[in-house]
Structure 1
């Protein structure tokens, strides 16, 4: 299992468009083999701050996601909406 959290700060005039595009990407992503969950969250205190919490079965599945047509369409659409660069963190399970 591999978990990726990506935080986005969106220009206020593009919040609605970002939500629409990301919901479409989420719907397509959840159909991919190897994706265990794909959560899209909005900050309670800052309506222009969002989090994608993605859980993959493997690092290979995470890389395959980045090569899908729906991801490429999404990133090409929303990149102009970013107020600042994305903040990405990737996590692996801690084993005993």
Structure 2
């Protein structure tokens, strides 16, 4: 199992556009086989700060996701919306355990 947490800071005038395209990415991604979670979170005190939390059954599924039309479109569109650099950190599940994730 692979879990990624990505952090984004979005320009104030691009927040609504980022919300729309990222929400569509989340919905489309959850229809893919092997994607267990694809959560878009907005900071409660800073509307321009977002997290994407993604859980994949395997690294090969994560890599295949990177070639989907919805991800390619998202990745091509959003960099102009960033007000600063992004970070992505990889995690492994502790609780619930990998086999306890809902499919």
Instruction: Name the TM tier (shorter chain).
Output: over 0.9
By how many angstroms is 1:93 displaced? 3.5
What residue number does 2:29 align with? 29
Question: Secondary structure of the equivalent of 1:84?
Answer: coil
Question: Is there any run of 5+ residues in structure 2 with no aligned partner, and where?
Answer: 98-103
CA RMSD of aligned residues (A): 1.2
Displacement after TM superposition at 1:75 (Å): 1.1
Give deviations 1:23-77, integer Å, cap 9, x for gaps: 1111110001110011000001110000000000001111111111110001111
Q: Which residue of 2 aligns with 1:60?
A: 60
Structure 1 gaps of 5+ residues are: none
CA distance in 1, matches of 2:90, 2:65: 14
How many residues in Structure 1 have an aligned counterpart in Structure 2? 95
TM-score w.r.t. the length of structure 2 is 0.88
